[in-house]
Every structure is written in structure tokens, then in C-alpha cells.
Amino acid sequence: MSLSADLSGTKGAVHAHRPTGTAMAQDRGRPRVSRLGLILVAPALFLLSCFFLAPVVLTGVFAFTNMSTSTGIGAGEYVISPNLLDDLADAGLSEEVVTAISAETYEITPDGIEAARAGGVSADFLRDIEGLLLGDGFDTARGIETALRGLPSAPRSPRSLKLTAEFFGHSVLNQRFDSAQELTEALSLAVPDVDAGIRSEIVGASYTGAIYTTENFTYLATQPSTMRLVANTVIYVGATLSIFNVGLGLFLAITLFYMPKRVSSFYSTLWLLPRITPLVLYTIMWKWFTWEDGFLPLLAEQLGLPAFNYMKGSVITAWMTMISVNGFVGASFGLILFSGAIRAIPTQQLWASEVDGATRWQQIRRIILPQMRWPILFVVSYQTLSLLSSYESIWLTTNGGPGKTTTVWALEAFKTALSSYTGNLEYGLGAAMALVLVVVGLALSIIYLMAFKFGELVGRPRIEF
Amino acid sequence: MMTRNFSTIPFIIVITLISMPLMVMYGFLILDTFTDAPAGELWPDRFTLKHWRFLYDFSEVGNVWVATFNSLTLAVSMAVIVLSVSSTAAYAISRLHLPFRRFFLAGILVMHAFPAVTLLIGTFFVLNFSGLYNTMIGVILVKASLLLPFGIWIMKGFYDTVPWEIEMAGVQDGASRFTVWRRLILPQVKPGLVALGVFAFLDGWGEYLLPSILAPGSDMQVLSIFLNDLIAAERVGYDFNLFKSVGVFYTLPVVVLFVIFQNRLMNIFGGGTKG
Amino acid sequence: MQLELENFTKCFDGTPVIENLNLTVGDGEMLALLGPSGCGKSTTLFAIAGIYRADGGRILFGDRDMSDLPSQRRNVGVVFQNYALYPHMTVAENIAFPLTVGKKRPPAAEVDRKVREIAELIHIEELLARRPAQLSGGQQQRVALARAIVRRPDVLLFDEPLANLDAKLRLEMRSEIRRIQLETGITAILVTHDQVEAMSMCDRVAIMDKGKILQTASPTQMYRAPVNKFVAGFLGNPPIVFMDGVVAADGMFQMGQGFTLPLPAHVRGLPLGQVITLGLRPEHFGGAGAGMASGRVSFVEPQGRETLFDVDVAPGVTLRSIQPMREDVRLGDTVNWAVDVENMLAFDANGDRL
């Protein structure tokens, strides 16, 4: 799509409007909302909301969570683990409370009896328990076991007694609760004397799911590696854009414009190849080109130059490779756009300048380049956006290495959230990093819209029924 | 076209030098698929067809035809979704009265310019919540949706060029707006549909990132993943000639489509999403 | 079918472009909506067609109110300026299209019969298998007309139908369109900015300016008795010449530049000194008449059958004369020609005819 081709929006009603009196607003003349129109846009609206809008919103929401592989995605549970208790004790929770929470207490309840029945305890024994012990409470295992042994139909083996006793036991430790309220209730049963404030603190700390936090952003703001990422990104985008997308694109477009037809169409096609080659194959070709035993190192070896894995072997060569990989694709974007723009220049202008005795260089500088202003602006704004977020080819080539020297912001965000070697994916942090890109991208695309005069693109439908 | 009062030779040399990496890469891409070179040498010394064994011998690399079929499914479904959804939505935006039409169009444009890959993390959440994670349907829906703003925008441009009078004549002739769209307007934008369809197909065919991230455990292995797994897999060693043969096999449909539809695609490539 | 617009009002963006317009077109009549571009004539046409919605008033076909019905339910045929043929269909398919989109689709044989019938009427039988791109402008025009009338519309609308044709074809299509309208007897409206088209093709002409109909009359009536200066100036080629002056003594008209003429009889009784404008058509200067004007010939345009002269009768006052071809008068000659005073048109200071 060249911009000019798309600027052909219909221009409202063609008839000149001549006001003849005071404005009058009547609903009658207003066009009705087209039901067909609503039906026709519905699928697009649905898909865009699901896979464009929702991801933006979710990125925004999860950027403020600490969600990761360990917290899981979705609602978490409330569990008081022994580790957590240790932590709480370290944080000043009183010894008594800790013991009370970890201790198991026993109470003979109808629920417990049902559970025991389901668990295979003999009916006679249960009848006795229900008849004689219902409502009794015991603080220790020994206490309830003694009481059970005293019953007429009690089994002989201590093991059976122990098993039976367990059906009446209560402990909040290591038990999974779906909601904070359930855990609070359980806690108030287990440790009724604990202050409500402390109790809710314990409940809060026991949550295993993701929680809302601004930590991601403070983390990003305080890490020295953040600056490094930003610098890498700026250098990468700036270098690729200026050297390849604009610089080389413009050079190719202008040079090929003056070439004989066969030469120019050969090179145009050659430069288009990277664009149509599937990315995986394209990156494999670059690997072959720069890898040890690949083309360049072998060539260098034969010439007596240092030969190593240029893609990952040194910082300088890694950067050059990374920029070239993207640049060779990007140059064709500039080439297509600029070629179109040059061909749109009326040939008379060029002929006139030649008649006037301008050299070709003057012709380029005085006539062609000034008319390339808008195409260049378009390429820069459009490609800035796509380069900012393009990590696919970096991921498949240098993968940000060696070390993290060629890691750009988008790649790091992607790796943090979705492709970590350590196995712990930090969704929250990744989302926060992506959110930064979303905001930058949104701002840039709105500016770009305003620069290209959006208003002119919207014509009014002319059939009013 | 232009007068030839300047020598073009030095410029041809410069361009050739700059284009060298491409020429070498693509030249050897083709050459290496049917030759072998001695270890540590660049130039092949013998002709061989053994790199193409993967077409029938699945023992080394797995069944390439299943992957081909999967890629085809992905690309075709994507083209179908993108075409049907953008051709309807774009018509409505171009020609029908909708509430918030301006706003919607502005949104489409922002989304079109917006770098969609940054949304991958959010998309991952959406698929997780909707149960579409790790399914090819999820990948297809996401991939198609990401291309929609572009598709709608392109199609709107095509609809805008159809004269209003055709539309007016249609309703005068007693046809409903739907019939007008179906029988009168749609045939006028066929070049756009073809270009967008081919573009969407190529986009889906070449896609690597989404299937690998959003459906890593899917049974449906597409060609891009098939190819990249070859490199990652230790068992075949680093056999670039094999990679290249699979790669050429993978790229062949792209080249064919491109040759057939070159002119129509050129218009659309300028606004393409590839960096 | 009789067509009637009753207090029709149309606004764009809240600004009225047409207010309270009233118009009646009789059954089988062909009426021209004539006016300069931007006068609202096409807007009116599109409102009748059901493309624009009226903001006020009613649009009646016979006694049925059509104001709130969409095009599809009005049974109106429209011929557009650029013909709007469907490029992907053959001529036959174009003409058949209106027949095949209704709820009840007639059998193919009947569609075919109707298409042939219309093609015969319009003389395009041999074009039926072609596509619009293979037709000349005039042929496309005919196909558009055939498509518009194949459904036997109640009202037929022409939007500048001849504007895209060259001069010769225009002449031919003028009479063709009129012939077909007369043969089918369909009530028709022609929108045009060309007075010759309006006058030669239509029973009556409605002349519009700035969203208002100034006058509706038969072509000759309107030419002879325009209601105001605008109408007088719009009709006639070469156009009428206006002279601004005052009523002087002895039934004379005097211009500031000193040029005088006798007033036409019906305005002689006006008070002395009243500001008045006289309109003199070229055919009324240089023949017979009660007044005389002399001056230098400043422009000669031989048009074949007739010759057109500009005569400077006073500084800044140029009269125009059209006479049967003559070669005896040349540029720079001084002439003294008669003015047919009684056929002059007189207008008051507001431009209304006296």
C-alpha cells in the first residue's frame, strides 16, 4: 500500500452546499444506522476485541502483577505452608500462634462422622462415637485416641484408631483454600484468640496467586541493565533505519531508476527476495553465511583474516549481523516506496532539468530528493514502529548474544515472559516491559496518523437510506 | 526512458557489491541443494540428489508432507478468515452508516501502524483464558486478527475507488445493499481480494513465531517449525545442505505465488507488516 | 404517474441547502430542473430517487408518500451522468439486473424477453453480448437508459445524462431520450445545467438557483417572460444584455453613461428617476424596431448561419446583435441599428420583471 494510493477516500457529497437560512436540525434527514453495516463489521469487531483490544488490556493489567510460572495464571489459592510459618515467625509472629496454627486439634462433628463413614470406618464404632463423643473437642492426638479406645466397639489396633482420629482432625497447615474467607474461618477455629488484624495478615501472606504490585516498574527503573536495553534498542532501530531502510533504500531506488530496465528489474527482484522468503529460511541462510564453517569465515580463512562465528563470536560482528539481517529485509520496503515516489515525479521535470544542463547529481539533489520528504517520513515513522517491536529475526539469529550485548527491549520482554531458559516465566515483568512498548507504539502511531491527515481519509456515505 | 548521457557502469558495480551477500546467499541456497562440497571448502565438487531424500525418506527428519499439509491449513484458513472478515468490514466502513464510524476507522489505522508482536504476551493470556492455548485454531485466529487492520485498510482503499454511482444504480434497480455488495461491488474489488488473499496466505505460510510460542505442544507442526527444529535437533548434525533443501522446498510455493501475482502484490507490500 | 414535492427541505450538516421547495410534474410529462452547478438540482433529484433523505416536506408519487421509503421501494429509474454501468456484466446482464433482484425472480425466459424488448426500443440489440468497456459513450448511455426503464419505473430521472458526450452525440441522444420518454410515457425529470438541453427535451422547465425554484414554465414562455433577471440571463445563447439606468422624461430610459433608449410601452408609466434594468436579447438588436443605437463594432463572430456582433454604444455599454450571416459589417465599423424596444425586458431594482 503506498499512501498515495490509499488517500483516494471518497470526498463527501459533491454538491456545493449553499446555506440559505438558519441552521435547522431535524432527525428526519439524518441517515439511519445501517443494520447490514453492523452485521458486516461484527466479525471484525469480535476478532479485534479478542486478539487486539483484550491483549492490550491484559498487558496493561498484568504489568501490575507479579504473575509468573510459580504463581500460575488465573486465581491462586490460600495455603499456609510450614515455610510460610517460618517466615511469619521470623517476621515477628508470636510462638504461641505459630504452634497453634501448626497444631492439629480434634472435634467430633457430624461432618467428621460422615467423612469417617465414607472412609470405611465400621458403622458400629461410628454409632458409638456419635452417641458418646459428639461435640467433644481434643487438643492432642493422644487425647482423642484415648477417648476412642474407651468406646465399646473400638477396634484393637492403634493404627485403626489413629486413622479414625484423623477424620476428626483440623489443621490449617498445608490445606488449600479457594478463598480468603474460607481460610479466615478455618483460622478462627484453629486459633480463636489471635487478633483479627494479625489473622488477616497471615491470610494475605498465604496467597499463592499473583498479586497486584508496581514492583515491575520499580525493578525496571532501578536495574542498570534497563539502560543498556534502551541504548541497544535505540542503536539498533536508529542504525537499521538510517543505514538500510532509508539510506540503502533511497540509494537503490534512485540508482535503479537510472538503470536500464533489465538491470533494474533484476536488482529489484533480488532485493525483494528477503521480504518474501520465510523468516526461518532467511535466518538459516544468514547462519550459513556467518557461522563458523560458513561462507564468510571460510572466505576469511582463505584470505588470512580472522575467521570465527561472526554471528555470535564477537560483539561487533554480532551487531553487524543483527543489523544486516533486518536491514536487508527493510531496505526493500524503502526501495518499493521510494521507487513509486520517484516514478510519480513528472518526467517533464527531469527532462527540463537536463535541458537546463543539470548534472545527474544536481538532478537528484534538487529535484528528486526534495520530493522524497514525505516518503522518507513515512518510511521512518512506519518502520520505527515495526523495528521497535521486531525481535523474531534477532531471536532466530544472535538471540541477543553474545551475553546480552545485542538484546533489544522487545526481545528481552518476550524472553522474560514467554521463552526463558530458567523455566520460570515472569509474565508480570514481561507484560510490564511490553506495556512500555505498547505505550510508545500507540503514541507513535497516533502521531503518524495525525501527520498523514487522517481526516481526509473519511468520506461520508452518500446513500442516506 | 531517461536520456543516457551518464555512464551507469560504476553504479552497477556499486550495486552489485552491495548486493553481494544476497547473491551469494541465494546462489548457494540453490546450488547447495543438489551438490556436495568437501569439508571446509566453499565450492562444491560433485552433484548429488541426496539432500532431497527428505521428500520420501522420513527416517532422518520426520514426515515433511504432514508439516506441509499443516502449513497449508494454517495459510489457507488465515487467508479465508482475513479475506471474508476484511471484505465485509471494509465495505461497511467505506460505504454504510455506522455509529462511531470515524472512531472505528481511526482505531483500524492505529492498529494497522501498531506493532502487533508486542501484544504477544497479552495474546498468550487471552488464549490461556479461552482454552485456545496450544491449539492451531488459536494460532490461526490470532494470526488472522493481527492482519485484520491491514486487510480492512487495504480493502477500504479498494472499495473507495468504486464509483458511488454503481452503488446508487444498484439500489435504484431495486437491489438490497447486501445484494449490491455481493453482486455489484465485490466483483469490482476482485484485484484487491486476490492481492490480500495471496498476501495473507504468504504471511501465514512463513509464520514461525506464533505457532512456536502459542502452540508449542500442538500436534500440528508447521513447516517453519519443522525446518527450525532440524537445526535445533542434534541428531542430524549441522547439515546446511539438508536445511537448505527443506528450505527451498518450503519457499517454492512462495516464489510461484509471487511470480504469478507480482504486480498485484507490489502495491500491497509497501504497507506490509514485515520490517 | 404524477410526481409532487411538497415543502421539500434538505440540509447538509445542519445547513439547509433546499428549503420548502414545491414542484409538481404531471403524469407523462418531462420536466427539466435547470440551474447552475450547486443550485440544488441534483440534490433534489437524489432525494426523489431515495438516495438522500428529506429533512422536511413530502415526496408524493401519485398520492403515495415516498419520503421515508428507500430507493428499492420507490420504483424509480435513474440515468447517471457517468452511466454507472456494471463493468463486470454484459449489456444484457446489466439490463436484466433490475429484473433479477426482486423478491420474486421471474423465469429466465421472461427476463430474456423483456431485455430484448427494451433493447429493441433503444436500438441496442446488437450490443447485448458486449461489456460496457467495449461500448462508445453514446452506446453506454443507451444501455443505461435501457436498464433504467426495463422495470417500467413510475418516474425516470436523468442526472446530466449528456454531459459526458461529445457535441454530435449529444444532439443525437437528446432526441433519442425524448423519443423514448414519449414512447414509454414515463414521467421524467431531467437535471441539467445546459439550457439548450432543458428547452429542447422537456415539456416544462423549472429553473433553480440557490436551492429555490425561481420559475416553472414551458420553454418558450420562460424565454419570453422570465420572472427575473437571473432567469432571463440564464436562458438564451448568446445571452441577453442588461442595461442599468433610470426612467427619464418622455418615456425614455437613460443610462449613467448618457446612452438612452425608448422604454417599452408597459413600463412607460413609471415615476421619473426610478432605477430600472432593461434586458435586450441579441435577436432584438439589428433588425426592426422603434429605438436606434449607434456605435462601433468591437467584435465579430461568424457562426455560419448567423453572425454575432458586439457594438460599443457608449463607454462601458456593449450591446449584442445576432443577425443572418452578413459580411458587409467589419470590425471597427460604425453602425446605427434598430432596437426592438417592445421586446425588451424590464426589471426593477430587485431584479424582478416589471
Chain A CB contacts of B209 under 8 Å are 392, 395
Task: Write down the pTM of the prediction.
Answer: 0.81
Gap from A182 CA to chain B (nearest CA, Å) = 25
Chain B CB contacts of A49 under 8 Å are none
Give residues with Cβ within 8 angstroms of B40, minimum separation 6.
Answer: A293, A298
Question: Looking at the predicted structure, is the pLDDT value of residue B18 above 50?
Answer: yes
Confidence band for A447, pLDDT divided at 50, 70 and 90: confident
Judge: B187–C84 Cβ closer than 8 Å, yes or no.
no
Please write the tens of the pLDDT for every residue from B84-139.
999 999 999 888 888 888 888 888 888 877 777 778 888 888 888 888 888 889 99
Neighbours of chain A (3+ CB pairs under 8 A): B, C
H/E stretch holding A295 reads helix A295-303
C84 touches chain A (CB under 8 A): no
Architecture of domain A218-457: Orthogonal Bundle (1.10)
Please write the tens of the pLDDT for every residue from B179-196.
999 999 999 999 889 989
C145 and C31, same structural domain?
yes
Confidence band for A16, pLDDT divided at 50, 70 and 90: very low
pLDDT in the model for residue B140:
92
Task: Quote the CA–CA distance of B147 and B140 in Å, as a whole number.
Answer: 11
Residue C352 belongs to a domain: no
| Residue in B95, B161, B162, B172 to test binding to C, most C beta-carbons within 10 Å | B172
Contact assessment for residue C159 and residue C5, using Cβ atoms and an 8 Å cutoff: no
Judge: B118–A437 Cβ closer than 8 Å, yes or no.
yes
CA atoms within 13 A on the CB side of C60: 16
Which single residue is written with the C-alpha cell 420562460? C222
Residue C232 belongs to a domain: no
C257 and C191, same structural domain?
no
Chain A CB contacts of C37 under 8 Å are 16
Q: How many domains does chain C have?
A: 2
Chain A CB contacts of C54 under 8 Å are 28-29
B112: nearest Cα among A52, A99, C236 = A52
C262 and C194, same structural domain?
no
Please write the tens of the pLDDT for every residue from C289-311.
888 888 999 999 998 899 999 99
Judge: B174–C50 Cβ closer than 8 Å, yes or no.
no
Q: What angle do CA C294, C296, C297 make, to 5 degrees?
A: 115
CA atoms within 13 A on the CB side of A450: 5
| Residue in A10, A11, A17 to test binding to C, most C beta-carbons within 10 Å | A17
Structural domain containing residue C122: 3-226
Residue C235 belongs to a domain: no
Judge: B172–C88 Cβ closer than 8 Å, yes or no.
no
Confidence band for B275, pLDDT divided at 50, 70 and 90: very low
Rg (CA), chain A: 36
Give residues with Cβ within 8 angstroms of B143, minimum separation 6.
Answer: B74, B78, B203, B204, B207, B210
| Residue in C71, C76, C83, C131 to test binding to B, most B beta-carbons within 10 Å | C71
Question: Looking at the predicted structure, is the pLDDT value of residue A27 above 70?
Answer: no
Between residues C294 and A109, which one has the greater pLDDT?
C294
C143: nearest Cα among C172, C169, C122, C114 = C122
> Length of chain B, please?
275
A456 touches chain B (CB under 8 A): no
Strand (E) positions, A6-94? 78-79
Chain C CB contacts of B175 under 8 Å are 72, 97-98, 101
Task: Quote the CA–CA distance of A150 and B167 in Å, as a whole number.
Answer: 95
Handedness of CA B62, B63, B69, B73 (dihedral sign): negative
Lowest mean pLDDT, pick from A46-55, A187-196, A404-413, C148-157: A187-196
pLDDT in the model for residue A217:
85
Q: Which among B85, B128, B273 has CB closest to A47? A: B85
Span A64-88, average pLDDT: 74
Judge: B157–A337 Cβ closer than 8 Å, yes or no.
no
Contact assessment for residue A236 and residue A322, using Cβ atoms and an 8 Å cutoff: yes
Task: Quote the CA–CA distance of C108 and C249 in Å, as a whole number.
Answer: 79
Confidence band for B6, pLDDT divided at 50, 70 and 90: low
C-alpha to C-alpha distances, C17 to C42, C46, C83, C208, C230, nearest whole angstrom: 11, 13, 26, 12, 19
Span C24-47, average pLDDT: 92
Q: Given C193, C226, C259, which residue is the final one in a domain?
A: C226
Q: What angle do CA C120, C125, C130 make, to 5 degrees?
A: 145
Give the CATH number of the domain where residue C292 resides: 2.40.50.140
Secondary-structure percent of chain C, ordered helix, strand, coil, rounded to 5: 30, 35, 35
Q: What angle do CA B127, B131, B137 make, to 5 degrees?
A: 70
Mean of per-residue pLDDT scores for chain A: 79
Between residues C34 and A113, which one has the greater pLDDT?
C34
Residue C295 belongs to a domain: yes
pLDDT in the model for residue A383:
84
Cell numbers for A96, please give them: 504461641
B contact set with C (CB within 8 A): 163, 165-166, 168-176, 179, 183-184, 187-188
Judge: B85–A44 Cβ closer than 8 Å, yes or no.
yes
| Residue in B118, B147, B153 to test binding to A, most A beta-carbons within 10 Å | B118
**Domain ranges for chain B:** 63-269
Residue of A nearest to B243 (CA): A284
C36 touches chain A (CB under 8 A): no
Gap from A318 CA to chain C (nearest CA, Å) = 55
In chain C, the percentage of residues whose pLDDT exceeds 90 is 61
Judge: B270–A333 Cβ closer than 8 Å, yes or no.
yes
pLDDT in the model for residue B237:
57
Chain A CB contacts of C11 under 8 Å are 23-26, 29
Gap from A370 CA to chain B (nearest CA, Å) = 19
Residue of A nearest to B215 (CA): A418
Does the ipTM exceed 0.90?
Answer: no
Judge: C11–A20 Cβ closer than 8 Å, yes or no.
no
Span A45-70, average pLDDT: 85
Judge: A288–B240 Cβ closer than 8 Å, yes or no.
yes
C249 and C205, same structural domain?
no
Please write the tens of the pLDDT for every residue from A292-325.
777 888 888 888 888 788 888 888 888 998 999 9
C203 and C77, same structural domain?
yes
SS3 at position C297:
strand
Lowest mean pLDDT, pick from B223-237, C76-90, C214-228, C283-297: B223-237
Question: Looking at the predicted structure, is the pLDDT value of residue C317 above 50?
Answer: yes
Span A254-275, average pLDDT: 87
pLDDT in the model for residue C319:
92
Contact assessment for residue C146 and residue C95, using Cβ atoms and an 8 Å cutoff: yes
Q: Which residue(s) pair with C277 in the sheet? A: C244, C347
C168: nearest Cα among C194, C138, C197, C126 = C138
Residue C144 belongs to a domain: yes
Judge: A5–B157 Cβ closer than 8 Å, yes or no.
yes
Which single residue is written with the C-alpha cell 476484511? B86
Confidence band for A5, pLDDT divided at 50, 70 and 90: very low
Rg (CA), chain B: 23
Span A187-191, average pLDDT: 71
Please write the tens of the pLDDT for every residue from C124-161.
999 999 999 999 988 999 999 999 999 899 999 999 99
Rounded to the nearest 5°, which phi and psi values hold at B2? Answer: -95, 155
Mean of per-residue pLDDT scores for chain C: 91
H/E stretch holding A334 reads helix A315-344
Judge: C53–A18 Cβ closer than 8 Å, yes or no.
no
Judge: C15–A464 Cβ closer than 8 Å, yes or no.
no
Residue of C nearest to A27 (CA): C55
C180: nearest Cα among C119, C122, C98, C115 = C122
Confidence band for A416, pLDDT divided at 50, 70 and 90: confident
pLDDT in the model for residue C35:
92
Judge: C56–A28 Cβ closer than 8 Å, yes or no.
yes
Confidence band for A4, pLDDT divided at 50, 70 and 90: very low
Given phi > 0 = left and psi -120 to 50 = alpha, else beta, which region is B62?
left
Gap from C85 CA to chain B (nearest CA, Å) = 7
Look at strands C3-12 and C56-61 and give their pairing.
antiparallel
Span C62-75, average pLDDT: 89
Question: Looking at the predicted structure, is the pLDDT value of residue A105 above 80?
Answer: no
| Residue in C15, C66, C159 to test binding to A, most A beta-carbons within 10 Å | C15
Confidence band for A13, pLDDT divided at 50, 70 and 90: very low
Give the CATH number of the domain where residue C205 resides: 3.40.50.300
Contact assessment for residue C330 and residue C300, using Cβ atoms and an 8 Å cutoff: yes
Chain C CB contacts of A28 under 8 Å are 53-56
Cell numbers for C137, please give them: 459513450
Judge: B145–A52 Cβ closer than 8 Å, yes or no.
yes
pLDDT in the model for residue C45:
93
**Choices 1.10.3720.10, 3.40.1190.20, 3.90.1150.10, 3.40.50.300: CATH for B63-269:** 1.10.3720.10
Cell numbers for C82, please give them: 457517468
Judge: A270–B129 Cβ closer than 8 Å, yes or no.
no
Residue of B nearest to C72 (CA): B174
Gap from A176 CA to chain B (nearest CA, Å) = 22
Task: Quote the CA–CA distance of C199 and C204 in Å, as a whole number.
Answer: 8
Between residues A83 and C200, which one has the greater pLDDT?
C200
C56 touches chain A (CB under 8 A): yes
C222 and C84, same structural domain?
yes
C213 touches chain A (CB under 8 A): no
The DSSP result for A221-286, as a single string, is HH-HHHHHHHHHHHHHHHHIIIIIIIIIHHHHHHHHHHS-HHHHHHHHHHHHHHHHS-HHHHHHHH
Long-range contacts of A132-136 (CB under 8 A, 24+ apart): A133/A108, A134/A108, A134/A109, A134/A110, A135/A107, A135/A108, A135/A109, A136/A107, A136/A108
Q: What is the 3-state secondary structure (H, E, C) of C39-108?
A: CCHHHHHHHHHCCCCCCEEEEEECCEECCCCCHHHCCEEEECCCCCCCCCCCHHHHHHHHHHCCCCCCCH
